[in-house]
């Protein structure tokens, strides 16, 4: 158990819909990262938040957005869903000074039908 | 960010030592080398990190030559449960973010 929690574990929805994925980082961690892992694309970095502020963006689509709240939990919003958005979505957190050691959550498996 | 190259797959037998080499010719002076392990349908797990020479922990060893253009992850006496994908990552400085490549799929056979 990494200490990072994600909900829900599984999500099945239809094309065109909108979903919200939730992540709670480890206690004390201020950084939250979001990743997408699909079969044909591998693990793709989406976005990084630090203490409520966006720090970096990766391959995140305009239909996707995220935020980190004052209690440090984070939400990833996916809208106008397409079949190709079906993937595992992971969030990770890390301690402030240990830049390379990220702790990943169990992931949310999104299936778009 | 430095690009990394590692074998797509490797096979080994239980009890053997496994060495996975990663090339990172464009590594920057202040880049660290980090390895992660990922089991199917689970998030990656940090294994080890190093800057130069050799680092050892309870799980693995990491060998980094003086020029730092490559690194080798060594797993002693692997078991079936070590079957996983292993990612080599370079960078991680403040403000940078990891770029996960395809990794090395290690299969440990009985």
B57/A contact by beta carbon, under 8 A: no
Cα separation, A3 vs B43, whole angstroms: 12
By C-alpha distance, the chain A residue nearest B34 is: A100
Q: For A52-72, what is the mean pLDDT?
A: 94
pLDDT at position B39 is 94
> What letter would DSSP give residue B42?
S
Residue in this structure with the two tokens 């689970």, named with its chain if needed: B42
**Within an 8 Å CB–CB cutoff, is residue A92 touching chain B?**
yes
Residues 17-56 of B with CB under 8 A from A: 32, 34, 38, 41-46, 49
Question: Chain B partners of A33 at a C-beta cutoff of 8 Å?
Answer: 97
Q: Which residues contact A104 (CB under 8 A, 6 or more apart)?
A: A2, A4, A35, A90, A91, A92, B42, B43, B44, B45
Q: What is the mean pLDDT of residues A69-90?
A: 97
Minimal CA separation from A32 to chain B, in Å: 12
Please state, in angstroms and rounded to a whole number, the distance separating the CA atoms of residues B104 and B37.
10
Burial A21-58 (b: 16+ CB within 10 A, else e): bbbbbbeebbbbbbbbbeeeebbbbbbbbbeeeebeeb
| Nearest Cα to Cα of residue A35 among A27, A26, A25, A45 | A45
Q: Does A104 touch chain B (CB under 8 A)?
A: yes
Q: What is the mean pLDDT of chain B?
A: 91
Q: Residue B46 CB: number of other CB atoms within 10 A?
A: 20
Whether A43 has its CB under 8 Å from any CB of chain B: the answer is yes
Whether B41 and A107 lie within 8 Å, measured CB to CB: yes
Characterize the bridge pairing of strands A10-13 and A108-112.
parallel
Report pLDDT digits (tens) over B30-55. 888 999 999 988 999 999 999 999 99
pLDDT band at B92 (very low <50, low <70, confident <90, very high): low
Q: For the residues A58-65, what does the mean pLDDT come to?
A: 93
Taking Cα atoms as reference points, which of B110, B109, B99, B93 lies closest to residue B36?
A: B99
Residue given tokens 């957005």 in the structure block:
A65
Question: Which pLDDT score, from 0 to 100, does residue A91 have?
Answer: 97
Q: What is the pLDDT of residue B1?
A: 59
Report pLDDT for A109: 97
Strands (E), chain B: 9-13, 18-23, 32-38, 45-50, 53-56, 61-64, 70-75, 84-91, 104-109
- Per-residue pLDDT at A101: 87
What is residue B90's predicted lDDT score, i.e. its pLDDT? 87
Q: How distant is the Cα of A96 from the closest Cα of chain B, in angstroms?
A: 10
Tell me: pLDDT of A1 over 90: no
Could you tell me how many CB contacts below 8 A there are between chain A and chain B? 57
Q: Classify strands A19-24 and A5-7 as parallel, antiparallel or unpaired.
A: antiparallel
Residues 6+ apart with CB under 8 A from A75: A20, A21, A22, A23, A66, A67, A69
């Amino acid at each position: 158990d990494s200490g990072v929690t994600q909900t829900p574990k599984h999500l099945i929805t239809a094309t065109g819909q909108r979903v919200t994925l939730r992540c709670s980082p480890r206690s004390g961690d201020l950084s939250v990262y979001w990743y997408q892992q699909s079969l044909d694309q591998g693990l793709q970095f989406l976005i990084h938040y630090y203490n409520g502020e966006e720090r970096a963006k990766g391959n995140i689509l305009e239909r996707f957005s995220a935020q980190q709240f004052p209690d440090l939990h984070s939400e990833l919003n996916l809208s106008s869903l397409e079949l190709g958005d079906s993937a595992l979505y992971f969030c990770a957190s890390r301690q402030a000074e240990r830049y390379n050691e990220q702790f990943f959550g169990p992931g949310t498996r999104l299936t778009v039908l | 960010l430095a690009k990394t190259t590692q074998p797509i797959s490797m096979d080994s037998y239980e009890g053997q030592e496994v060495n996975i080499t990663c090339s990172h010719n464009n590594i920057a002076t202040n880049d660290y080398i980090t390895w992660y392990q990922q089991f199917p349908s689970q998030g990656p797990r940090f294994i080890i990190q190093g800057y130069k020479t050799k680092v050892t922990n309870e799980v693995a060893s990491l060998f980094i030559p003086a020029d730092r253009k490559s690194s080798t992850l060594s797993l002693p006496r692997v078991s079936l449960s070590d079957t996983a994908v292993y990612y080599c990552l370079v960078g991680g400085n403040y403000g940078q973010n990891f770029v996960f490549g395809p990794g090395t799929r290690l299969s440990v056979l009985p």
